[in-house]
Structure 1
C-alpha cells in the first residue's frame, strides 16, 4: 500500500525537491505543510505514516514539532531534513524521537535507503489525500517564487557556515529564517532586523564576483559580542581595539567564506572574494550604513542573523547582490522550479 506522507518545510522549493525524491507511485498521497503548526494539524486529522520535517520554520519550528509529537506519543516516523548540520542539532532531534536526519540538499540515494527501512513498518494507506500547498504571500519587493528559492539556497548555505562555527567554537549556533528583499540603500539599515539601531556595532565588508554575479557580503557584529567571542576563542588578554578587529575578521572569514561556498556549490558556479574592508568600529549600524552608502544602490539583500546559545553574541551577515546580478541568478535557478 502507498504510505501517507507529509512534507513540512517553509520553502516551496524545498517541498518540491523533497517530493521529487520520493517514488512516483507515492505522489498521490503526499501532503504539504509550510510550518510546524500546519504539520501537526495534518497529523491530527489524517493517518500519516511518514513526516519529512525541516527545522528552521516560522510559527512552530522542527524542534517544537518533535516535542509535540513526543508528548502526543505519536507513532509517525519523522525524518528531519535540514540545512542545520551541527552535531548538536543531530543529537537534539534524535533525542526528541526522529527516525533519521538528512542534510539539505537531499541525497536521493540516502532517501531511497531510508524508505527501504521505513517500508517494512509502514501502515495501510488512507483514502487518497488532496495535496494542499500553502502559497507564500506575494511580496512587493521581489517575486515570491524567486524569493523562496533564494531563501532555501541560503538556508542550506548558512547551515554549513553554522556547522563550521559550531565545530570551531564547540557551541550551538542558533540559525534564523533568512530574510530576502529587493531594497534601496536608504532602507538597508531597516533590513537589519536583529541589530538595534542604538547598539554599538563593528562591520566588515567583502566583495565577491563570479559567473555574471557580483555583490558584497556585509558582516555586522554587536560590540557586546566581543567579550564572549574572545572567551570562546581562548583569548584571555585585554580586549584592545586591534584584538577586536582581529576577532571581527576571524568571524567574518568563517561566515562569509562558508556561506558563499555553500551558495556557489548549489548554483554550480564559483565566487572570487576580494580583500575584506573594515567599514567602521564601535558605531550605530545606521552610521555605518550612511558612511558607506555610496557603495550600494538598489540591491537584492539576503540577511542572516546568527546567535550562539547561552552567549551574548549576535551578528548579522548581509549578502548584497547588485541589481544586474538578479537576472543572472534567476536564470541560474530556473531549473530548480521546473515541475
Structure 2
C-alpha cells in the first residue's frame, strides 16, 4: 500500500534534500508545502500518512501547525525535521503530538533507521516513489536559498549551546539573506534593533577564499538580563558590559561558526572580537564601517530569549569577492547522489 507523505519546509533546498534521502525501496507518494498554513490547507482536503515538518517557517511555523492539527479529526503522524535542536524544542514538539524529531541535515541512514523503529517503513517494499517537485539542476537554487539553509542549521546549533548552558529557550527566526547597499543595511538594522541605542561586537573570519565579518548587535536594554543569566552580580558599568558582550559573542558566534564551517567543509580562521560600539545609534555603528560595507551579502539572524528581555542581531557580512566561491561550495547541497 502506498504511503502518502507531505514534506513541509520553507526552504526549497531542505525539501529537495529530504525527498532525496527517503528510502529508495519505499512505496511512497510525496507532496510538498512551503509553510505550515499551506500544509494545513493541503491536509484539509487530502489524507496523508506522514508529515515531515520544519519548525522555523514564515506564515505559520511548526509549533502553530502542530497546534492546529489537534483540531483535525484525522491527522498524519508528524516527524519534525529541524535545525533547532534545543532540548526544550524537542520536548515541546513531542508534547504537542510529534512522534519523532530528526535534526537537520538528516542522513539517509539515520532517516531509514528512524522510520523502521517507528514502524512506518519495512525493508523490501516495492520502489514506486513519486514526487511532483523534482529539481535536478543546481542553477534552479539561488545562492540566497542555499546560504539561508546552512545558516538555519548553524543557528539551531548555536541556540542549543546557549539553551543548555543557561537553561533557557531561544526563539529562532527564519534567517534573512540579501545583498544590501550600506543604506539598506542601516534600514534593515533600524527595523530589527528595538532600542534607540545598541552595543556591538565584531569578528572577522576567512577561509578557502571566503571572507566575512560576524557582527553581533545587542539592544542596550538586554544588559540587565544578560548579567542575570551569566551570573554577574556586580554593578553593571561599562567594563562589565564589555565583558558581557565578549561572553555573549563567544557563546553565540563560536558554535554558529563551527556548524557553519562544518557544512561548507571549511575551517575558518578568525581574528579577536572587537567592541565596535557601546550605547550608540545604528547610523553611528554603520558609519564606523561605511567604507567596508558599501555593498555586502548579508545574513541576518535575530535571537530572542524567552521570558527575558534579551534581543540581539547576528549578521554575517560577506565581501563581494566571496560570492563566487560561496556559490560553488553551496552547489553540493543540490547535487544528486
TM-score (norm. length: structure 2)? 0.91
1:227 aligns with 2:215: no
Structure 2 CA distance for aligned equivalents of residues 111 and 153 of structure 1: 19
Corresponding residue for residue 297 of structure 1: 294
Corresponding residue for residue 239 of structure 1: 236
Deviation at 1:306, TM superposition (A): 0.2
Corresponding residue for residue 72 of structure 2: 72
User: In the TM superposition, what whole-angstrom CA distance separates every residue of 1:92-144 from its partner, at most 9, and x where no partner exists?
Assistant: 0000010100111112222101221344589xxxxx9772589xxxxxxxx96
Runs of 4+ in 1 over 3 A off after TM superposition: 25-28, 117-122
Q: Work out whether residues 201 and 282 of structure 1, in 8 Å CA contact, stay in contact via their aligned partners in 2.
A: yes
Structure 2 CA distance for aligned equivalents of residues 25 and 108 of structure 1: 12
Q: Secondary structure of the residue that 2:63 maps to in structure 1?
A: helix
Structure 1 CA distance for aligned equivalents of residues 212 and 11 of structure 2: 24
Q: Work out whether residues 202 and 281 of structure 1, in 8 Å CA contact, stay in contact via their aligned partners in 2.
A: yes
Q: Secondary structure of the residue that 2:70 maps to in structure 1?
A: helix
Q: Work out whether residues 31 and 133 of structure 1, in 8 Å CA contact, stay in contact via their aligned partners in 2.
A: no
Deviation at 1:338, TM superposition (A): 2.6
Q: How does 1:1-339 map to 2 (within 5 A)?
A: 1-26=1-26, 29-119=29-119, 131=132, 145-192=142-189, 193-196=191-194, 199-339=196-336
Structure 2 CA distance for aligned equivalents of residues 328 and 195 of structure 1: 31
TM-score (norm. length: structure 1)? 0.91
Corresponding residue for residue 125 of structure 2: none
Structure 1 CA distance for aligned equivalents of residues 205 and 253 of structure 2: 10
Q: 1:27 to 1:284 in 2, by over 3 A?
A: farther
Q: Secondary structure of the residue that 1:72 maps to in structure 2?
A: coil
Q: Work out whether residues 4 and 28 of structure 2, in 8 Å CA contact, stay in contact via their aligned partners in 1.
A: no
Deviation at 1:220, TM superposition (A): 0.4
Structure 1 CA distance for aligned equivalents of residues 275 and 292 of structure 2: 13
> CA RMSD, aligned part only?
2.2
Q: Work out whether residues 7 and 32 of structure 2, in 8 Å CA contact, stay in contact via their aligned partners in 1.
A: yes
Q: Work out whether residues 19 and 27 of structure 1, in 8 Å CA contact, stay in contact via their aligned partners in 2.
A: no
Q: 1:118 to 1:49 in 2, by over 3 A?
A: farther
User: In the TM superposition, what whole-angstrom CA distance separates every residue of 1:69-91 from its partner, at most 9, and x where no partner exists?
Assistant: 12325341100000000010011
